[in-house]
Structure 1
Amino acid sequence: MRIERFSLALATPLATARGTIDAREGFLVFVDVDGVRGVGEATPLPGWTESLDVSRAALDRARRAAATDGWDAVLGTLADAGVPAARHGLALALADARSRTAGVPLYRHLGGEHAECVPVNATVGDGGIETTVAAAAEAVERGFSTLKIKVGTREVAGDVARLDAVRSAVGDAIELRADANGAWSREEAQAALDGFADLDVAFVEQPLAADDLAGHAALRGGSVGVALDETLAEHAVETVLDADAADVLVVKPMALGGPDRARAAALRAREADLDTVVTTTIDGALARTGAVHVAASLPDPPACGLATADRLAEDLVAEPAPVAEGEVCVPQESGSVPESSLPVGR
């Protein structure tokens, strides 16, 4: 097992709960399984996962333990150690090697059926009305039929006006979603959902703080769904389901500890009649493509948050899963990315 650090500059700074970052830093994880190489990516994001230093320490422990304990035992140890990014890196590397050995693309190795593409949403920022409408119209022109619009940085009435303007501009055939990133109080969130109801907004992502399961449960029942994203960094899927707190789960493989765990969470949510949207933590190309495979392994996935390559100013490899006309192409070669796209070392 070999571990190599990387840093990828962002096209624009990323605001997080821990401050603003201008690069995504992480580790390439190389493994050899019965003579077949696999590569994974561990890209921590504090607030969602462990820190960079903690992730590296966990990967170093895994490397030492693998020689005597075996890969699957090491994965099990990482599962409950509070190091989801580290586990993701190793889990993706192992799945990459094993799917290459099996001669199937990763999504088939995970249990999916044949899938050529996955629908994706465009993300529209939190600018003023004119800026928001222009960005939404541009995304529709590029073929996106689902738009996620950032909200929560202004008064609720202002966000309702912004989405009203977008709906008027793009028409009724385009699905609108909103993402508040936990910005609202319970009263503000209820006012927003009431205002969005006439605009046919599909759901609002994380309207309340991540730990407010009861508040999210109370918001449900109207025509606008409640989606939980940041909450899954604090609460297990079963806890969310037991609290009846969501209509939709936003599943991030890096934050959940690997493609295998992300798929398991998505399938469990579907058993409970919840939709699942697969997305990323603004990862590099290897983890992003791994998330594409997770989405492709699910039957009839809704539009997912996988069109995030443009958030990076540089990347690990050439794009293995390009986005066109509102869909991401799923690699069909064995493994997670084509052999020609595998990094050979930095």
Structure 2
Amino acid sequence: MSLPAVDELLAGLHVVAIPMRVPFRGVRVREAALLHGPEGWGEFAPFLEYGPAQASRWLAAGVEAAWESWPETVRGTVPVNATVPAVGPGEVPGVLARFPGCTTAKVKVAERGQPSSADVDRVAAVRAALGREGRIRVDANGGWGVEEAADVLGRLARYDLEYAEQPCATVEELRDLRLLLGRRGLGVPVAADESIRKASDPLRVRDLAAADVVVVKVAPLGGVRAALEVVQACGLPAVVSSALDTSVGMAAGVALAAALPDLPYACGLGTVALLEGDVTPEPLVPQAGSLPAGRVAADPDLLDRWAAPPERTTWWRERVAAAHAHLDPGGPA
């Protein structure tokens, strides 16, 4: 389909501001712009530091959700992981309790201002809570250099890590880390996240043999169909993750995970549980460790309940217009 005009997008736009239960990557209040189109609801919620060109991918994903149908699914439910922010070990059981039935946990590490010993203590607490059978993956968001990553992962390996997500910032560093871990006999697989979703060429991860797993997010890649193409081209096992979305945005991630031919890992799609509220009375939060595939409709009363202040709504409307200018009006949305 052709790209809707910006006035059409703005006509059905609602901006919400929902507090986080605990800060996550420095975010205390999550803002999102919700789009309403002929197929339902879509979400536009790039992080605040992203410029119009990068944000345009998120807008394309929101437009796809609201103006197009999603690909056919091959599964009705998707297994998801718990997400543990950079909290102290004493807070870990309370965080995990928000993800009922989840037997996999993604643990934030390499938090700015915290020592690596805090990472070890946090992961140890998660292992104690999940028991031997639980799966643990860590996410450094590119916060380590190669040597530091190898050192800390060597200390964390005793807790039987499923993989380390974006331990270093660049594709070249991920490649070098994989080689170094192999030389040290550390069997910790490396997953690429930012090197996929922020890259102008996400296939460099494949070309440089820089990862064992790819983490894909619908919004930064421009939609469900675009993300499916990236996974197919990479030829690596994929984990579908989210970006602190409301349930409207989360539904797109579930649609992608439900459409993948193979899904060997639990997906990072349970983060609605980190929000104080949502835009639907039946949030997409894990039940028995899974989420159902399907569209989510925003509730008018909840849109009013979490409505952003007027000045923030104006800011987001201007951001939609700026991102829209970077999309091809004659191509697919």
Q: Which residue of 2 aligns with 1:172?
A: 132
Amino acid at match of 2:288: E
Q: Which residue of 1 aligns with 2:161?
A: 201
Given the two structures, how large is their TM-score scaled by the length of structure 2?
A: 0.75
CA separation of 1:197/1:92 partners in 2, compared to 1, >3 Å: closer, same or farther? same
Amino acid at match of 2:76: E
Cα separation, 2, equivalents of 1:251 and 1:39: 21
1:250 to 192, 207, 215: 215
Q: Between the two proteins, what is the percent identity of the paired residues? A: 31
CA separation of 1:82/1:342 partners in 2, compared to 1, >3 Å: closer, same or farther? closer
> Which structure 1 residue ranges, 5 or more long, are not aligned?
32-36, 56-80, 97-105
1:215 to 149, 162, 173: 173
Amino acid at match of 1:40: G
The number of residues matched between the two structures is 283
1:285-296, aligned counterparts within 5 Å?
285-296=247-258
Amino acid at match of 2:260: L
Counterpart check, 1:150 vs 2:158:
no
| Aligned residues: CA RMSD | 2.7
Q: Is the 8 A contact 2:102 2:286 kept in 1?
A: no
Counterpart check, 1:5 vs 2:13:
yes
CA separation of 1:137/1:320 partners in 2, compared to 1, >3 Å: closer, same or farther? closer
Pairwise CA distance, 1:235: 4.1
SS at structure 2 position matched to 1:83:
helix
SS at structure 2 position matched to 1:227:
strand
1:1-346, aligned counterparts within 5 Å?
1=4, 2-3=8-9, 4-12=12-20, 20=27, 22-31=29-38, 37-47=39-49, 49-50=50-51, 54=52, 83-96=56-69, 106=70, 110-113=71-74, 115-132=75-92, 134-135=93-94, 138=97, 142-153=100-111, 154-209=114-169, 212-220=170-178, 221=182, 222-232=186-196, 233-269=198-234, 271=235, 274-301=236-263, 302-319=265-282, 321-331=284-294, 336-337=295-296, 341=297
CA separation of 1:224/1:136 partners in 2, compared to 1, >3 Å: closer, same or farther? farther
Q: Is the 8 A contact 1:196 1:224 kept in 2?
A: no
Cα separation, 2, equivalents of 1:306 and 1:45: 17
CA separation of 1:280/1:166 partners in 2, compared to 1, >3 Å: closer, same or farther? closer
Amino acid at match of 1:91: E
Given the two structures, how large is their TM-score scaled by the length of structure 1?
A: 0.73
Q: Which residue of 2 aligns with 1:34?
A: none
Q: Is the 8 A contact 2:140 2:165 kept in 1?
A: yes
Cα separation, 2, equivalents of 1:42 and 1:258: 11
Cα separation, 1, equivalents of 2:131 and 2:43: 39
Cα separation, 2, equivalents of 1:181 and 1:325: 28
> Which structure 2 residue ranges, 5 or more long, are not aligned?
305-333
Pairwise CA distance, 1:304: 0.6
CA separation of 1:317/1:166 partners in 2, compared to 1, >3 Å: closer, same or farther? closer
Post-superposition CA distance 1:307-330 (Å, at most 9, x none): 122333343333364520111122
CA separation of 1:151/1:342 partners in 2, compared to 1, >3 Å: closer, same or farther? closer
CA separation of 1:139/1:192 partners in 2, compared to 1, >3 Å: closer, same or farther? farther
Pairwise CA distance, 1:191: 0.7
Pairwise CA distance, 1:188: 1.3
Amino acid at match of 1:138: A
